[in-house]
Structure 1
């Protein structure tokens, strides 16, 4: 079973004050992050929730972001990676849920368009590569043909030289 913490325990584990973790959690909830509630409606923190708060602390200290900006950045990252337990908490309306679905469908359509564009670019690149390979094959074929023609020409020249030598020799002996 997963380890659970209430606000004061989670704050001690993270090395921050209880009011600080409650403020972070409240800001997270305003951005759509959902915490389970336990007895007396107290927030329940799981390890994954502690990791999210650690990321916020890190963003505030290292990147010097405000709490709101740090929370927005971390929530956006987790929503994008589907790491939060639910986009819709108990206090969200069905309209917000449908709005989020519309946003996701829009993003999905954008990704499909990008994928189609990439597929078109890949096809164009493959076509260009095929043309280059064909050009290279033609160049190699032409080069081989030239070598073959040179070889034939050199053989004819050698044959003609032999014929010319014997022809010259026999011509001299006939004259004598």
Structure 2
């Protein structure tokens, strides 16, 4: 009898895709896309014969994925991997220690987010350095091409002048015709 009561209370706590979408503020199709990507990142949803069903904890995971994507501007797969890794670390910490308060949880969450943002900033800085080097290289290449173009133009002018001089020397003047 206790088992039936647990099943009923568990069923009452389950959320549908539409409810998750409303809680997180995303479209239902986005919920399905996030769920698929989270599963690929090894996050486990509860499932039944009819498909997956969600809990309030899952709603929080969806919210975190959305937050990471919005704040960090990363691809969905990467955001899911970060959130799942963060979730796993938090789960391990909670299993080995007492349950942290909401404030502690938020502090841990913001710490992981800050660490991730710092890593993104470092990667962005490295990309900017590479871009600067490539721009510098491109400028040098353009200068070399301009110099080459000027040399080619100068050679063409000299060749044209030489042809004119050769043509002029071959022309006989009318009074030199008998010579």
TM bin (shorter chain): 0.5 to 0.7
Q: Residue 59 of structure 1: CA displacement? A: 3.6
Q: Residue 141 of structure 1: CA displacement? A: 0.7
Say which one has the larger Rg: 1
2:112 aligns with 103
Cα 1:107/1:125, change in 2 over 3 Å: same
1:49 aligned to 2:23? yes
2:13 aligns with 22
1:146 aligns with 155
Q: Residue 123 of structure 1: CA displacement? A: 0.7
Relative contact order, higher structure (CA 8 A, sep 6+): 1
Which residues of structure 1 form unaligned runs of 5+? 1-16, 26-44, 84-90
Q: Residue 160 of structure 1: CA displacement? A: 1.4
> How many pairs are equivalent?
126
2:129 aligns with 120
Q: Report the TM-score when normalising by structure 2.
A: 0.52
Structure-to-structure mapping, 1:79-98, within 5 angstroms: 79-81=67-69, 92-98=101-107
CA RMSD of aligned residues (A): 4.2
1:39 aligns with none
Q: Residue 96 of structure 1: CA displacement? A: 2.2
Q: Report the TM-score when normalising by structure 1.
A: 0.52
Which residues of structure 2 form unaligned runs of 5+? 1-7, 47-51, 72-99
In structure 2, distance between residues paired with 1:74 and 1:46: 8
Q: Residue 46 of structure 1: CA displacement? A: 8.8
